[in-house]
C-alpha cells in the first residue's frame, strides 16, 4: 500500500490554474506545477499521466463550473439570467474565465485525452439539451436564443478578458438590451 497523496487533484489543478492565469496555459508545465506545490514532478505525473491530461482536466473543470449556472438558468426558464451568467461568472472566476473563454479546447491540450472524450461530450450535450428545451418551451427560434445567451455574452466579455480585467457593469446592461431586442416575445 502506497503513501497517501500529499496534494489533492483539486490542489494540483488550482496550482495549474494559477500558473496559466499568470503566464498562459503553455507555462503550466508539470515541472512548474510541481514547483508551485513544492511536490516532486513524478507525483504530478502519477496523478495525471500527461500534461495534456492535466490541462484538459483543468479546462473541463472550468467548463463544468461555467455550465452549472448557465444550464440552471435555462432549466428555470430564465433566459435573461442565462445571458447574464457569462459576465457574472467572469467577474467571480477571472482565472477560469480567461482559461475557458480565451482559449479553444484545441488550444488547451495538444491532444485531447481519450479518457476525457466522453466527459466533454456529456458537457456539450447537457448545454445543447437545455437550449433545445428552453427554445421549445418558450417557442423561440434556437438560433436567436443561442445568439442572445451565448454569442452576445461571449463577445461582450472577451475583449475585457483579453485586457485582463473584469467586464464592467455596463456589459450586463448591453447584454440585456441585446437579449430583449433579439427575443422580444420573452420580454423582461
**pLDDT digit string (tens) for 141-188?**
999 999 999 999 999 999 998 888 999 999 999 999 999 999 987 755
pTM more than 0.85: no
pLDDT digits (tens, 9 = 90+) for 78-131: 999 999 999 999 999 988 888 776 555 555 555 667 777 778 788 889 999 999
Identify the three-state secondary structure at position 166: coil
Burial zone of 110 (CB within 10 Å; 0-12 exposed, 13-18 middle, 19+ buried)? exposed
Cβ proximity of 153 and 87 under 8 Å: yes
Q: How far apart are alpha carbons 12 and 17 in whole angstroms?
A: 9
**How many Cβ atoms are within 10 Å of 90's Cβ, its own excluded?**
25
List CB contacts of 54: < 8 A, sequence separation 6 or more. Answer: 12, 13, 16, 28, 30, 33, 44, 48
**Would you state the pLDDT for residue 103?**
58
pLDDT in tens, 42-91: 889 888 988 888 888 898 898 899 999 999 999 999 999 999 999 999 99
Instruction: Say what the pLDDT of residue 161 is.
Output: 86
CATH topology of domain 1-49: Arc Repressor Mutant, subunit A (1.10.10)
Structure confidence by residue, pLDDT tens digits, 12-35: 999 999 998 888 778 889 999 999
Tell me the domain boundaries of the chain.
Answer: 1-49, 51-182
Residue 115 has what pLDDT? 77
> What was the pLDDT predicted at 188?
55
Amino acid at each position: 500500500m502506497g503513501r497517501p497523496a500529499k496534494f489533492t487533484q483539486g490542489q494540483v489543478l488550482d496550482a495549474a490554474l494559477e500558473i496559466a492565469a499568470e503566464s498562459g496555459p503553455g507555462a503550466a508545465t508539470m515541472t512548474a506545477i510541481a514547483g508551485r506545490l513544492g511536490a516532486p514532478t513524478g507525483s504530478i505525473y502519477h496523478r495525471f499521466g500527461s500534461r495534456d491530461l492535466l490541462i484538459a482536466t483543468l479546462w473541463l473543470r472550468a467548463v463544468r463550473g461555467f455550465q452549472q449556472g448557465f444550464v440552471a438558468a435555462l432549466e428555470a426558464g430564465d433566459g435573461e439570467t442565462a445571458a447574464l451568467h457569462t459576465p457574472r461568472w467572469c467577474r467571480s472566476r477571472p482565472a477560469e474565465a480567461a482559461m475557458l473563454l480565451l482559449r479553444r479546447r484545441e488550444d488547451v491540450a495538444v491532444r485531447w485525452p481519450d479518457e476525457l472524450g466522453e466527459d466533454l461530450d456529456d458537457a456539450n450535450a447537457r448545454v445543447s439539451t437545455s437550449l433545445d428545451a428552453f427554445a421549445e418551451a418558450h417557442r423561440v427560434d434556437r438560433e436567436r436564443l443561442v445568439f442572445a445567451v451565448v454569442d452576445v455574452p461571449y463577445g461582450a466579455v472577451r475583449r475585457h478578458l483579453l485586457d485582463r480585467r473584469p467586464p464592467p457593469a455596463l456589459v450586463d446592461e448591453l447584454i440585456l438590451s441585446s437579449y430583449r431586442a433579439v427575443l422580444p416575445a420573452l420580454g423582461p
